[in-house]
Amino acid sequence: MSRTKGEQFAGVTVAVITPFMDGAVDYSALKKLVDWHVEQGTDGIVPVGTTGESPTLSHEEHEKVVDTVVQQAAGRIKVMAGTGSNCTKEAIRLTLHAKKAGADGVLMVGPYYNKPTQEGYYRHFKAVADETGIPIVLYNIPGRTASNIFPETIIRLAELPSIVAIKEATGNLDQASQIACGCDLTILSGDDSLTLPLMSIGGRGVISVVANIVPRDMKALVKAFDQGHMAEALKWHKKLFNLCKDLLGVATNPIPVKAAMKLLGRDTGEVRLPLWALDDASVARVKQSLSAYGLL
């Protein structure tokens, strides 16, 4: 397999939830979450991403979550801190904090709401790269940011030394193929259900939500593909596919995954406004998905 820039982030990285208890971040539960992923063999974790409800955290909470995760990881598992912002100065500040905390890299979502031009995207990420020097994983998810970072822009950004990988969440395999053909960034799936298809065109793994629940299974899929065991990789894809679509389709991430973790005895299930807990019918759907998979 050809080497790619940023291949230290290949494999299964989990976008971890932020546990809450009575409205506050539960740092004790967060530490246990890190330990659990180390035990499960997860390759890396992303604190304060979308799944970690980063938009609802105060600046102080954001930094303390990163500090807590890095300290608890203690080099046993890679930490890729979420440091994206639609304000370039804020993104630089968050990224410098993650670097000082000891994170292995950062995950930077494209600026949301203000919809930059392609030149604006380039200059935003270049400014952060120039100011910080920590490995940066780009995150392109037009469904949340309302704007696409074009392949040509990503290929141009790949020329910057500290931009090493991309979390590809456009759901567009043609766009992912253009990136794979045009540069040597490590491409990671941003959609659990597209992990195998993306790896078939050059992807090297996934930044996963469903792996909050079944990290070993997602890693089994990625490992099987890497070892050339295509039938086994397809078997895992088919097993995981329904869980990914049924569970994550119930409501906005991370509401259903937190509900699932509560049913499995691993979280309170609490989310922060403007997110809200599932109604009884939706909880029943989550329970049915977990049961069908064999987890309940």
167 as an active site residue: the answer is yes
Residue of 121, 139, 219, 258 marked catalytic:
139
- Contacts of residue 239, defined as CB under 8 A and 6 or more positions apart, other chains included, come to 217, 293
Alpha-carbon distance 62 to 53, whole Å? 10
CB 25 within 8 A of CB 228: no
**Torsion angle (degrees, nearest 10) of CA 215, 24, 191, 178:** -120
Which is catalytic among the residues 78, 99, 167, 258?
A: 167
Which residues are annotated as catalytic?
Answer: 139, 167
